[in-house]
Copies of this chain bind each other. A is one copy, B any other.
Amino acid sequence: MKAPTIIALLYGPDQPGLVSRVSSWIFLRGSNIHHADQHKDLEANIFFQRVEWAPSGQIEEEAAAFKKFANEELGMEVKVALSTDRPKVALFVSKTEHCFHDAILRFRAGEMAGELGCIISNHEILRGDTESYGLPYYCVPTSKETKAAAETEQLRIIREHGCELVVMARYMQVLSDDFLKEVACPVINIHHSFLPAFAGGKPYHQAHSRGVKLIGATAHYATADLDEGPIIHQDVTRINHRNAIQDLIRKGRDLEKTVFAHAIRLHLDNRILIYNNKTVVFD
């Protein structure tokens, strides 16, 4: 078994000596850095760092002390996590089930540094499968008229389960700006095109119509601007003139599953920092 570690994600205005001050703080407590990766955006003059270390003292206390140091002495924004953390995740799904099964099986197989807390859907269709996985299922139907009330109910469920991440496994409703503000945790969406191409609805139909030779999938953080949030991960696969829209949909499923899962894993491993509507991914 690997000993527990502390992971810190920092960012803020660049200044001389940041790498040295962070590593010296850790060293001088007798702790041992396992990984440290940093990035500077030279145009924006911002410093980003992911550092992971085995603490010498009591782990929660050392994590809190580091956070205070980073905030107060370095003036950096910082998220501190433990390698043993298993944050709860809420999975939203509609009827399309490939990302749903794939994500659940990966959580079960121990691929993810987190746990599924609940499944929320606007349909009843996946209740049986969810329950055979031993997970709680909530059906919250939504329509134009009931959207606000439905979102209030979704927020209640997310809070009841203490979820710290929402992942949209092909959930076919747009989350409102209010919901995104209220939920106060990151929301990861999977879009079935290589954004920014074919944003909006029916991207496989758009791709077929334009005659592209590659189709893609994009995992991004959801923002109020639909399909415009910070991109986490993308991948593509080759198609040809023989492929009907149904073939694009089938090929795309494999892309969506792996791109979605990879983005969730990166997030739960605390490898992503967001700024200027872009991501820094320490992988």
A241 and chain B: residue at smallest CB distance:
B280
Chain B min CB distance to A75 (Å): 17
A277 to B210, CA, bound (A): 8
A32 to B15, CA, bound (A): 9
With A109-B98, A196-B197 already in contact, the answer to whether A231 and B213 are too (CB < 8 A) is yes
A214 and chain B: residue at smallest CB distance:
B234
Q: In the complex, which residues of chain B have a beta carbon less than 8 angstroms from the beta carbon of A197? A: 194-197
Q: In the complex, which residues of chain B have a beta carbon less than 8 angstroms from the beta carbon of A42? A: 244
With A20-B24, A34-B40 already in contact, the answer to whether A281 and B241 are too (CB < 8 A) is yes
- Are A16 and B30 within 8 A (Cβ)? yes
- Asked if A176 lies at the interface with its beta carbon under 8 angstroms from chain B, I say no
- Asked if A144 lies at the interface with its beta carbon under 8 angstroms from chain B, I say no
- Are B111 and A101 within 8 A (Cβ)? no
Contact residues, A120-144 vs B (CB, 8 A): 132
Contact residues, A23-66 vs B (CB, 8 A): 23-24, 26-28, 30, 32-40, 42
- Are A242 and B39 within 8 A (Cβ)? yes
A17 to B33, CA, bound (A): 8
- Are B234 and A213 within 8 A (Cβ)? yes
- Asked if A233 lies at the interface with its beta carbon under 8 angstroms from chain B, I say yes
- Asked if A236 lies at the interface with its beta carbon under 8 angstroms from chain B, I say yes
A129 and chain B: residue at smallest CB distance:
B132
- Asked if A202 lies at the interface with its beta carbon under 8 angstroms from chain B, I say no
- Asked if A254 lies at the interface with its beta carbon under 8 angstroms from chain B, I say yes
A37 and chain B: residue at smallest CB distance:
B37
Q: In the complex, which residues of chain B have a beta carbon less than 8 angstroms from the beta carbon of A254? A: 258
Chain B min CB distance to A163 (Å): 24
Chain B min CB distance to A205 (Å): 12
Q: In the complex, which residues of chain B have a beta carbon less than 8 angstroms from the beta carbon of A109? A: 97-98
A17 and chain B: residue at smallest CB distance:
B27
- Are B27 and A20 within 8 A (Cβ)? yes
- Are A211 and B277 within 8 A (Cβ)? yes
Q: Which A-B residue pairs are the 4 nearest by beta carbons?
A: A211-B278, A20-B27, A197-B197, A20-B23
* A interface residues with partner B (beta carbon < 8 Å): 16-17, 19-21, 23-24, 26-28, 30, 32-40, 42, 97-98, 101, 105, 109, 111, 132, 194-198, 210-214, 216, 230-236, 240-242, 244, 250, 254, 258, 276-281, 283
Q: List 28 A-B contacts (CB under 8 A).
A: A16-B27, A16-B32, A19-B19, A19-B36, A20-B20, A20-B23, A20-B24, A20-B27, A21-B27, A34-B40, A35-B38, A39-B242, A42-B244, A98-B105, A132-B132, A194-B197, A194-B212, A194-B236, A195-B212, A196-B197, A196-B212, A211-B231, A211-B278, A212-B231, A213-B234, A236-B236, A240-B283, A241-B279
